[in-house]
Structure 1
Amino acid sequence: MRIGTPGFMPTRLLEARNARRIATKSALARRLGISPTTVSRWEDESSDQSPDHTTLVRLADELQVRPEFFLRPPFHSDRPTFLRSLASTLVRDLDYQKAQMRWLQEISFVLGHYVDLPELDIPDVLEGGSYSQLREDDIERIALRLRQHWNMGEGPCGDVVALMERIGIVVAAIPMNTTKLDGLCSWSPVDGRPHVLLATDKMCFTRRQMDAAHELAHAVLHQAVPEEEFQANLRMIEQQAFRLGSALLMPSTTYPHEVRHPSLAMFTSLKERWRVSIKAQIKRLSDLGILPDDYARQLYKLYSAKGWSKGEPLDQHWPVPAPRALRDSLNLIVENGVRSKADLLATEFTVWASDIERLCALPQGWFERDAAEVVSLKTRDDATHTLGSSGAEVIQFPTRQPRR
């Protein structure tokens, strides 16, 4: 017989701890003033112990979730989560990002009860084949096929995040408090829809474009990768995603023909048109065999000497639009009176309002604001009557005579 709260989910406690970057069970125990052994038993799925109701409320308050959070099953997918991170990335940062992804999927699932997100439109470019059989030429052809399928043309790409939302991918962008995490892609265990979470730390539009294109490439190429193959083939998987992302942003049929004289000055000029970083352009031309390896290395050295590794020219030239689909969905639900903000927080969502606002790109404090009151403008007849009743005189403009 389980002691404590019936239905308590130990995996949800671990998830909440990761989402709050509480690295150890002992650290959580110190916050609660209890024994670390007690927290260990709560997180142990084979244990028969869980917090009683009073302690559950304290635990929820400490982890900034509703008590019901621990009673709902977690969003866990058998598919791997594709993380773009450096080898030196701390485990707690990776765990944080994965926990935030599960919360994003849960929020998306709730909103899907009330609004229809765009239908998923990702063509089967592998046509029954395996990602491991792809050659570089295959990836280039896939990029051109995707551009045609999504009506992107052959010129510079617009906002990749807007494209992803248009084809049915759920996207969020939040600060990760580290520059060693760029983003991740995962599939919802409920409907199989890809979800992408991007980092906003030190973000500029060109970097966001490449990060988004990289995760979009994962959604296209790697949705069927088994978990056991992910780590074994991680290098290949990441190289494929970068190649396809670059090819989507800089198509082989047009972009290279605009590079008349490869130089940093030329790449700066092309950056203004194609909105792709200078470093990514050098890499792209090198991958296509247009830049010799020796010359590419010289450009990289000059690039570093100018200090552009910390920031390129034009990086702050364009604003970085936030994802819109989830934000617009919540506004639609509330403004049409389907559910109130308080009702959504009390019955649908189990995380705090600030988490939902951040993941849905809502203004801070959105849940605390009253819904806007719609005020109708007066019709012309009403306006005339009002003026007349107040003693005002309505003066007609003179009729313009036609020119001869």
Structure 2
Amino acid sequence: MENIVGYRIKSARKLKGLSLQNVADELGVSKQMVSKYENGVSIPPSSKLLSLSKLFDQKVDYFFRSFKIELGEVNFRKKSSFSAKKENSLKEQIKIKLENYLWIESVLGIDSSFNNIISNKTINSILDIEAVVLSLRNSWSIGVDPIYNIIQLLEDKEIKIIEIYDADDKFDGLATYIDNKYPVIVVNGNFPVERKRFTLLHELGHLLLQIPRCELAEEEKFCHRFASEFLLPRKMLINEFGGKRKHISFTELVSIQKKYGISIPAIIYRLVELGVLPKEYHKQFYKKINFNPSLKKTIYHSRFQTPEKSFRFKQLVYRALAQEDISMSKASSLLNKSIESIKENYALI
């Protein structure tokens, strides 16, 4: 029991980005005593656990949860300025959310095993991405049609989606495996919907693609191409825009943005990438919008109409509650909501 409590205290401390001394000052004990708590040498009395609960903004039962997971490799590759303390905080936040997710699935007897159906697809160059994406879309029975809700699609395919709302724009997203078995994608929930969709699919590329050994920058290009191809397949782009063009109208771009849920800059990039627009068009486009703030604001306006929210975990908690597999108090703890709030949203039909 002491090891579990210590593990939870250390995890919650990292989540909050606090030092041992910070916690010691709040509890009115020495830094050495907090270290003993974390290492399982000593267990805090109930009064200190209550203080820790308030400090870490966690329910008291959090400190006694025995269900633990191991994250796979987590690479915060997006922004070099992302601090180590913030990385550790996000890792702990992700672990807590995923532990709750997998625990509720185990309570409900749900087998969320995942099969990467393109694991046998060899990729020798970035040009191979198109065929791989088409194979995946066909296997998932979505052809080349626009996708209304990326999160729902991925969750239906047993990929865990975690949205983080207290991260700034230095964090885009990440992908990893839990216990070398369960795939998970974490995304910044504050993003405009088009950016969120692209990030989700970019991270899906990191999860599924068998990319040849290369530099990180090159790997990012593979995943960027994967996301672009998945959102707006070559066939549909050619159908929508025709052959080679010298110019594109704003009305055309807005129409495609609304239909496929991909940002206008990403559409421009895709058009240049596939040779519909000349190579110099991309630079001209950014030069034009960077010198015109009003146009830039209009270009980056979000227009795709979809919730792109993850509701599955919440749904599973209420399912377990309705089946009397968990108590109202446990549901409150899992969702980090008050019991009154849970009662308001809970009604048996």
Q: State the TM-score, normalizing by the size of structure 2.
A: 0.84
Q: Where in structure 2 are the equivalents of 1:33-72 lying within 5 Å? A: 33-43=28-38, 49-54=41-46, 55-67=48-60, 69-70=62-63, 72=66
The 2-side partners of 1:288 and 1:267 are apart by 16
Q: Which residue of 1 aligns with 2:216?
A: 234
Deviations 1:228-269 (A, max 9, x none): x9xx84323322222111110011222134224443613223
Counterpart of 2:201 in structure 1 is: 213
2:238 to 224, 235, 256: 256
Structure-2 change in CA distance of 1:353 and 1:6 (3 Å) = closer
What is the correspondence of 1:176-215 to structure 2 with a 5 Å cutoff? Answer: 176-189=166-179, 192-201=181-190, 203-215=191-203
Match of 1:367 in 2: 342
SS of the aligned residue for 2:220 comes to: helix
Alpha-carbon distance between aligned partners in 1 of 2:20 and 2:184, rounded to the nearest angstrom:
29
Describe the shift of the 1:6–1:324 C-alpha distance in structure 2 as closer, same or farther (beyond 3 A).
Answer: closer
Which has more helix, going by share of residues?
A: 2
In structure 2, give the amino acid aligned to 1:34.
V
d(CA) in 1 for partners of 2:231 and 2:327?
Answer: 41
Change (3 A) 1:217 1:98: same
Instruction: Judge conservation of contact 2:37–2:44 (CA < 8 Å) in 1.
Output: no
The answer on whether the counterparts of 2:331 and 2:342 sit within 8 Å (CA) in structure 1 is no
Structure 1 residue runs of 5 or longer lacking an equivalent are 346-351, 358-362, 375-404
Identity of aligned residues (%): 20
In 2, Cα distance between the equivalents of 1:208 and 1:200? 7
* Whole-angstrom distance in 1 between the partners of 2:116 and 2:102: 23
**Whole-angstrom CA distance in 1 between matches of 2:128 and 2:222:** 10
Q: Does 1:98 align with 2:91?
A: yes
Offset, 1:310: 5.4
Amino acid at match of 2:256: L
- Is 1:288 matched with 2:255? no
Q: Partner letter of residue 131 of structure 2? A: R
How far does residue 50 in structure 1 lie from its aligned partner after superposition? Answer: 3.3
Q: Structure 2 CA distance, aligned partners of 1:244 and 1:293?
A: 20
Partner of 1:14: 10
Q: 2: distance between equivalents of 1:259 and 1:303?
A: 22
Corresponding residue number in structure 1 for 2:70: 76
Q: Is the 8 A contact 2:36 2:42 kept in 1?
A: yes
The aligned counterpart of 1:161 is 151
Secondary structure at the counterpart of residue 195 of structure 1: strand
Q: 1:13 to 1:233 in 2, by over 3 A?
A: farther
CA distance in 1, matches of 2:341, 2:57: 17
> Contact conserved, 1:12 with 1:74, CA < 8 A, in 2?
no
Bigger Rg, which one: 1
1:159 deviates by 1.0
Structure 2 residues not aligned, in runs of 5+: none
Deviations 1:265-286 (A, max 9, x none): 1322321222210111122223
Task: Tell me if structure 2 keeps the 8 A contact 1:187–1:195.
Answer: yes
Confirm whether residue 330 of structure 1 aligns to residue 317 of structure 2: yes
Give the number of equivalent residue pairs: 342
Give the residue type in structure 1 aligned to 2:69: F
Q: Indicate how the Cα distance of structure 1 residues 313 and 197 shifts in structure 2: closer, same or farther if over 3 A, else same.
A: closer
TM-score, normalising length: structure 1? 0.74
Contact 1:11 1:74 in 2 (8 A): no
